[in-house]
Amino acid sequence: MKTKRWAMLAGGIMLVGLLLLVIRAAAEDVGETCVNVSDNVAVAACTRAIRSGGHNAHRLAALYGNRCAAYINNGKSDEALSDCNQAIQLDPKNAVAYANRCAAHINKGETDDALSDCNQAIQLDSKNATAFHNRAAGYSAKGNYDRAIADLDHAIQLDPNNEISYNGRCAARIKKGETDQALSDCNQAIRLDPKNAIALRNRATGYFAKGDYDSAIGDLDQVIQLDPTNAMAFYNRGFGYAAKSDYDRAIGDLSQAIKFDPKNATSYTGRCAARIKKGDIDQALSDCNQAIQLDPKNAVAYANRCAAHINKGETDQALSDCNQAILLDPKNTIAFHNRAAWYFAKGDYDRAIGDLGQVLQLDPKNAMAFNGRGLGYAAKGDYDRAIGDLDQAIQLDPKNATSYAGRCAALIDRGEADQALNDCNKAIQLDPKNAVAYANRCAALINKGETDQALSDCNKAILLDPKNRPTRFGYE
Would you state the pLDDT for residue 52?
83
CB-CB contact of 190 with 196 (8 Å): yes
Above 60 in pLDDT, residue 292?
yes
Would you state the pLDDT for residue 66?
84
Above 80 in pLDDT, residue 119?
yes
Above 50 in pLDDT, residue 214?
yes
Would you state the pLDDT for residue 55?
79
- Cα 51 from Cα 283, distance rounded (Å): 59
Residue 406 burial (CB < 10 Å; 0-12/13-18/19+)?
A: buried
Instruction: Compute the average pLDDT of residues 306-335.
Output: 92
Would you state the pLDDT for residue 6?
47
Closest C-alpha among 88, 138, 80, 131 to residue 109: 138
Would you state the pLDDT for residue 230?
95
Exposure string over 12-39, b if 16+ CB within 10 A, otherwise e: ebbbbbbebbbbbbeeebbbeebbeeeb
Confidence band, pLDDT 50/70/90 cuts, at residue 38: low
Would you state the pLDDT for residue 354?
97
- The shares of helix, strand and coil residues in the chain, as percent rounded to the nearest 5, are 75, 0, 25
Above 70 in pLDDT, residue 135?
yes
Give all strands (DSSP E) within 240-314, no chain letters. Answer: none
Would you state the pLDDT for residue 476?
39
User: What is the Cβ-side half-sphere exposure of residue 246, based on CA atoms within 13 angstroms?
Assistant: 14
Q: Taking every pair of C-alpha atoms in the chain, what is the biggest distance, in angstroms? A: 104
At 136-180, the pLDDT tens digits run 999 999 999 999 999 999 999 999 999 999 999 999 999 999 999
Quote the mean pLDDT of the chain. Answer: 88
CB-CB contact of 161 with 173 (8 Å): no
Confidence band, pLDDT 50/70/90 cuts, at residue 70: confident
Alpha carbon distances (Å) from 65 to 22, 52, 112: 10, 16, 21
Give all strands (DSSP E) within 229-385, no chain letters. Answer: none
Out of 67-81, 191-205, 323-337, which region has the weakest mean confidence (pLDDT)? Answer: 67-81
Would you state the pLDDT for residue 5?
42
- Strand, helix or coil at 308? helix
Above 70 in pLDDT, residue 117?
yes
Q: Which residue has the higher pLDDT, 413 or 474?
A: 413
Closest C-alpha among 102, 79, 99, 97 to residue 87: 97
Instruction: Compute the average pLDDT of residues 63-72.
Output: 87
- Cα 374 from Cα 357, distance rounded (Å): 11
At 430-473, the pLDDT tens digits run 999 999 999 999 999 999 999 999 999 999 999 998 865 555 44
Domain map of the chain by residue range?
A: 361-464
At 176-212, the pLDDT tens digits run 999 999 999 999 999 999 999 999 999 999 999 898 9
Q: Does domain 361-464 have CATH number 1.25.40.10?
A: yes
351: number of Cβ within 10 Å? 15
Would you state the pLDDT for residue 15?
47
- Cα 180 from Cα 331, distance rounded (Å): 27
Would you state the pLDDT for residue 403?
93
CA angle 281, 283, 289 (to 5 degrees): 100
- Cα 158 from Cα 127, distance rounded (Å): 7
